[in-house]
Amino acid sequence: MYILRWQPPYDWAWMLGFLRDRAADGVEVVSETAYRRSFALGAHRGIITAVPDTEACTLTVTLSEGLLPVADACLTRLGNLFDLACSPQIVNQALGPLSAARPGLRLPGCMDPFEQAVRAILGQLVSVAMAARLASRVAQLCGERLDDDVVLFPRADQLAHADPMALKALGMPVKRAEALINLAHSALAGRFPLSAPQDIEQGVKTLQTFPGIGRWTANYFALRGWQAKDIFLADDYLIKQRFAGMTPAQTRDYARRWQPWRSYALLHIWYTEGWSPQLS
């Protein structure tokens, strides 16, 4: 058992709800009080369970035996997923009134950037629930089983050898299936930037050179896969609704007030019902 810490406030109800809505059956189980998932790192595989204690400001982590040799790396990945290193006072001071409704909001990251890239592509033009179902189906088709009920999310080498028509049969366009296979080959060849580059803006442009990855998908992957702190999706559908009557350029200009924490601003705007910009 391991103990990780964070600075309060932390809105665990929101974070676990966010992850629960996107949980892939067979890979993840997310309740109101805990996060549990299968995970593999190199030759090591097993189960991770994380339970927050909101009074002690700790996260209790349990690793199954197979992951104990890579415990430090697993804990680092959990820190990225839950944004445990965030200093909320600094972020909230920069966001001002925008953060008042949810001062404990954190930026959901990921356990594995390749997995997050796959999920970002699967999430294009479908609901959150459908994206989660597709992620589960891809895992069931291509991933390694730990037991009858638990499967590992597929590695790049496993997805690279998938039949595009078999992926299409899971409920996606064949072009999307081909994009996933291309992504896997690119990751294996070291061409796909799984870690955050020094220049995030240029990195997002690079992401858009890969088949099946447009502006929204590239930014969303940067937000979660790289846990980039200063992403703002001015052409996102909901953001356009919140900034009604403003062009994307005007929206981007308005959002500059929240630099360098625009990713947090984006989440606050997404999840604050009825929010609208204060125009003078």
Residue 52 belongs to domain with CATH number: 3.30.310.20
Q: Which strands form 58-63's sheet, in the order they lie side by side? A: 2-5, 58-63, 44-53, 35-41, 28-30
How far CA 79 is from CA of 74, 75, 110, 271, in Å, comes to 9, 6, 9, 22
Q: Is 105 part of a structural domain of the chain?
A: no
Q: What is the pTM of this model?
A: 0.95
Whether 126 and 177 map to the same domain: the answer is: yes
How far CA 246 is from CA of 178, 225, 230, 250, in Å, comes to 36, 29, 21, 6
Residue written as token pair 């356009």: 240
Q: Which CATH number covers residue 280?
A: 1.10.1670.10
φ, ψ (nearest 5 deg) of residue 61: -115, 130
Confidence band, pLDDT 50/70/90 cuts, at residue 157: very high
Q: Is 48 part of a structural domain of the chain?
A: yes
Q: Is 106 part of a structural domain of the chain?
A: no
Which entry of 83, 112, 230, 236 is annotated as an active-site residue? 236
Higher pLDDT, 273 or 152: 152
How far CA 90 is from CA of 7, 85, 95, 226, in Å, comes to 11, 12, 9, 20
pLDDT value of position 235: 87
| 66 CB-near residues (< 8 Å, 6+ apart) | 44, 45, 46
Percent of all residues in the chain with a pLDDT value above 70, rounded to a whole number: 100
Q: How many CB atoms lie within 10 A of CB 127?
A: 10
Q: Is 55 part of a structural domain of the chain?
A: yes
CA–CA distance, 98 with 265 (Å, rounded to integer): 7
Q: Is the pLDDT of residue 195 over 70?
A: yes
Whether 50 and 124 map to the same domain: the answer is: no
Q: Is 19 part of a structural domain of the chain?
A: yes
Whether 74 and 32 map to the same domain: the answer is: yes
Average pLDDT of span 181-190: 97
Average pLDDT of span 258-270: 97
Q: Structural domain of residue 177, as residue ranges?
A: 113-224
Whether 275 and 188 map to the same domain: the answer is: no
In single-letter form, the type of residue at position 154 comes to P
Closest CA to 269 of 251, 253, 247: 251
Q: How many CB atoms lie within 10 A of CB 135?
A: 24
Whether 127 and 178 map to the same domain: the answer is: yes
Whether 119 and 196 map to the same domain: the answer is: yes
The answer to which of 65-79, 133-147, 216-230, 266-280 has the lowest mean pLDDT is 266-280
Q: Is 199 part of a structural domain of the chain?
A: yes
Whether 190 and 119 map to the same domain: the answer is: yes
For the chain, what is the mean pLDDT? Answer: 96
Q: Is the pLDDT of residue 116 over 80?
A: yes
Q: Which CATH number covers residue 166?
A: 1.10.340.30
236 is known as an active-site residue: yes
Whether 128 and 78 map to the same domain: the answer is: no
CA–CA distance, 204 with 210 (Å, rounded to integer): 11
Q: Per-residue pLDDT tens for 31-89?
A: 999 999 999 999 999 999 999 999 999 999 999 999 999 999 999 999 999 999 999 99
Query: How many domains does the chain contain in total?
Result: 3
Q: Is the pLDDT of residue 247 over 80?
A: yes
Burial 139-151 (b: 16+ CB within 10 A, else e): bbbbbeebeeebb
Whether 182 and 274 map to the same domain: the answer is: no
pLDDT value of position 280: 64
Q: How many CB atoms lie within 10 A of CB 29?
A: 18
Select from 94, 121, 140 the last residue of a domain. 94
Closest CA to 205 of 214, 190, 113: 214
Q: Is 101 part of a structural domain of the chain?
A: no
Whether 190 and 247 map to the same domain: the answer is: no
DSSP assignment of 104-161? T------S-HHHHHHHHHHTTTS-HHHHHHHHHHHHHHHSPBSSSS-BPPPPHHHHHT
Whether 72 and 144 map to the same domain: the answer is: no
Both structure tokens of 12: 């665990």
Q: Is 39 part of a structural domain of the chain?
A: yes
Whether 166 and 85 map to the same domain: the answer is: no
CA–CA distance, 120 with 137 (Å, rounded to integer): 15
